[in-house]
Amino acid sequence: MQKTIKIIMVAAGFSLRFFKKTQTKVCGYHIKWYIFISALILCSATFAQSGIYITGETGYSKQSDTPDLTSISAQSSSQSHSPIGRLSIGYLHDFNNWLGFGFETGAGWYRGTTYNFINKQVNACSNTTEFLTITTLHQQAWDFFAKLGGIRHTLNNFSIIHNKASDSSETKIQPEIGVGINYHFNSHFALTSQYLHSFGSQTSCPSLNIGLIGLRIAFW
């Protein structure tokens, strides 16, 4: 590994010296900085780690954009926020020591809203399957990341809430975004925390606001 790094650095040095002499004949001043930055990225990529990770999390969730009580003839409603759970598996590819990109799929079980009608009480919980891209910024032991993608959101007891005869759930595909922070204990174990938000509607599956904390195990 050290031998490979030395070869890369020597090659980058010769490239810089060559383009410093010939930059006016090629592309001018900017070509020197282009080669310099490329060499730095190439060298740092030698240290980069990529691989599969799994995460287990719990925390707090809240449904928003829920149906108006008058429209569904409910007397009142209340929300339960915990306990909840989320499991995920993903792949992260580090381009260098400070930037990574990956994909993640997860499954979530979230508490929901209880609707009180004249003659019944209905609990509408949310289950999700999530498909997300993840962009990560590494800063020593810390990771700062953003997620973007979609979820398959299933709301239990949807038909009962909307006063329909059948007892069935409602499933919708919704966009989802998220931000979070990891703290690495070592190269394999990290404490993770994140906030996720899905975009729903009052007439189908509601929006979800999810705060999570958990443990990530990386296999690289």
The model's pLDDT over 71-96, given as tens digits with 9 standing for 90+, comes to: 888 889 999 898 999 999 999 999 99
Question: Which of 33-47, 168-182, 188-202 bottoms out in mean pLDDT, i.e. has the lowest?
Answer: 33-47
Selected residue with higher pLDDT from 165 and 126: 126
Residues 120 and 134 in one domain: yes
The SS3 assignment for 124 reads strand
Tell me the two tokens of residue 202.
Answer: 């009052």
Residue 80 and residue 12 share a domain: no
Residue 107 sits in the same domain as residue 186: yes
The pLDDT tens digits for 130-147 are: 999 999 999 989 999 999
pLDDT in tens, 136-177: 999 989 999 999 999 999 999 888 887 776 667 899 999 999
Token readout for 132 is 């997300």
- What's the number of domains the chain is made of? 2
Look at residue 2 and tell me whether its pLDDT is greater than 50.
no
Domain harbouring 201, CATH code:
2.40.160.20
Q: Please state at what angle helix 2-22 crosses helix 29-45, rounded to 10 degrees.
A: 180
Range of the domain at 15: 2-45
Q: How far apart are CA 177 and CA 197, in angstroms?
A: 6
| CA–CA separation, 34 and 63 (whole Å) | 48
- Compute the distance between CA of residue 121 and CA of residue 101 in angstroms, rounded to an integer: 45
Average pLDDT over residues 90-112: 95
**Pair 157, 185 in one domain:** yes
Mean pLDDT across the stretch 94-120?
A: 93
